[in-house]
Amino acid sequence: MKKLIISLSLSFLIVFLIFTVLSCTPEEKIIEKQSVQISDQDLREKNVVEYKTREFMGKKRTYLTSDLSRIPKPASLDEFSTSFHNPPVRQWWTSTCWSYATISMLESELKRLGIGELKLSEMYIAYWEFVEKARGFIQKKGAQLFTGGSEHNAVFERMKQYGIVPADAYTGLLPGKTEHNHSKMFKEMRNYLTFCKENKYWDEDKAVDYIKSILDKYMGKPPETVDVDGKTMTPKEYLDNVLQLPLEDYVSFMSFKSLPFYTQGEFKVADNWWHSQDYYNVPLDVFYSILVSAMKEGYTVALGGDTSEPGKSGEDDIAVIPTFDIHPKLIDQDSREFRFNNRTSTDDHAIHAVGFKEDKNHTWFLIKDSGASSQRGQFKGYYFFRDDYVKLKMLVLTMHRDAAKDILAKFKQ
């Protein structure tokens, strides 16, 4: 009898605890996952791994990819709804894609704002970014990376500091040179800064002057004045009086669960070397919708993200996510987050979205790209990025704030 009473008591206690837990679970904690339907046709269209070999800088390189030639894609540039942009230009052997992409976006903005069709100098900004990065290295006594990369918003900061000049006023090329190659220049700068660190040499003015001398040797000294329409002006006067770009009105978006959504914070990548906290963090669906709506309203957008992927092929002019990575229908915030966390999605390239095309299955984005791989296909300097690639692999968007004013209104001041 005693055992029966104990058994009944335990049963009652278990039932009571289950009832209590269920009744105390807030409704908002119950999350219904949307079901994803993957059809037989989807499964038949799976991509298969292939290995190909390409020669790069005189050496053969084997890489993993797939047969992307059969993927339905836009047939020409004419199929895209595009906004004004200058023709693609090459960055050659440099790590200055961030400058090329952002300057290209600002050139499109000059046309959109009614100022004109102008070509600006990417290398003028790159020169001064190297100077400021070296200055930061000395100020922080070597506790900062010194690389060739940077972010979109660095362009705005350098323009505020140093102005800007037309492309023909400063090419960053020495007489007789036609292709940029920063490898020797960067090695010399890095070796000098390593010497400063090892010998605890922290004289900022002298160190920065020495870095400038290296830059001048390889790129030429940037002009102190430019002649525009018969007027001589400084780069700052050219920016303020001729271009009149509203640099404070350009904003960047990211999408990471490590920071509360609808707050601002740091884009935690090495190229954000000054740890800018100005990035607006939004959920992935909002991140993607901002890009689509901006393009439809006639804006262009600078993007940054991972372009070293098996689904990106210069020969085929496209970037897609192959099914052996993840089926496109399964791409969501978490799959994107996972790849950033394990570093299979990295911030390795900046590009410029200048057009879009919608069909019954996908949205395609016309990408203007300064990288070498964009020269391998039929459409030199361009890529066709499919929506799945953008959602999974693009990490940051930069555009005029008016293109996302409804989203920005959700952020607390």
Residue 160: its H or E element: helix 152-162
User: Is a pLDDT exceeding 50 seen at residue 179?
Assistant: yes
- Give mean pLDDT, residues 227-234: 95
pLDDT digits (tens, 9 = 90+) for 128-137: 999 999 999 9
Q: How many domains does the chain have?
A: 1
Residue 293 domain-assigned? yes
pLDDT digits (tens, 9 = 90+) for 200-228: 999 999 999 999 999 999 999 999 999 99
What pLDDT is attached to residue 61? 86
Give the domain range for residue 374.
79-408
Total residues belonging to the chain: 413
Residue 50 domain-assigned? no
Residue 298 domain-assigned? yes
- Give mean pLDDT, residues 302-324: 95
Contact 274, 289 (CB under 8 A): no
Contact 385, 367 (CB under 8 A): yes
Residue 18: its H or E element: helix 2-24
Contacts of 104 (CB under 8 A, 6+ apart): 85, 86, 300, 302, 352, 368, 370
Contact 356, 364 (CB under 8 A): yes
User: DSSP letters along 74-135, please?
Assistant: -SSGGGSEE---PPP----BSS-HHHHHHHHHHHHHHHHTTS----B-HHHHHHHHHHHHHH
Q: Which of 77, 82, 84 is nearest to 118 (CA)?
A: 84
Q: Which residues sit opposite 123 in a β-bridge?
A: none
User: Is a pLDDT exceeding 50 seen at residue 59?
Assistant: yes
CA atoms within 13 A of residue 105's CA, in its CB half-sphere: 31
What CA–CA distances, in Å, run from 144 to 131, 182, 204, 277, 314? 14, 20, 15, 17, 34
Residue 382 domain-assigned? yes
For residue 182, give the CATH number of its domain.
3.90.70.10
Residue 303 domain-assigned? yes
Residue 20 domain-assigned? no
Residue 59 domain-assigned? no
- Give mean pLDDT, residues 139-144: 96
User: Is a pLDDT exceeding 50 seen at residue 79?
Assistant: yes
- Give mean pLDDT, residues 306-333: 95
Of 56-60, 108-112, 309-313, 366-370, least confident by mean pLDDT is 56-60
User: Is a pLDDT exceeding 70 seen at residue 413?
Assistant: no
Regarding predicted confidence, which is higher, 60 or 183? 183
Instruction: For residue 94, report the phi and psi dihedrals to the nearest 5 degrees.
Output: -135, 170
- Give mean pLDDT, residues 36-46: 70
What pLDDT is attached to residue 194? 97
- Give mean pLDDT, residues 157-165: 98
Contact 53, 62 (CB under 8 A): yes
Of 1-10, 366-375, 382-391, least confident by mean pLDDT is 1-10
Residue 25 domain-assigned? no
pLDDT digits (tens, 9 = 90+) for 239-276: 999 999 999 999 999 999 999 999 999 999 999 999 99
User: Is a pLDDT exceeding 50 seen at residue 24?
Assistant: no
Q: What is the mean pLDDT of the chain?
A: 91
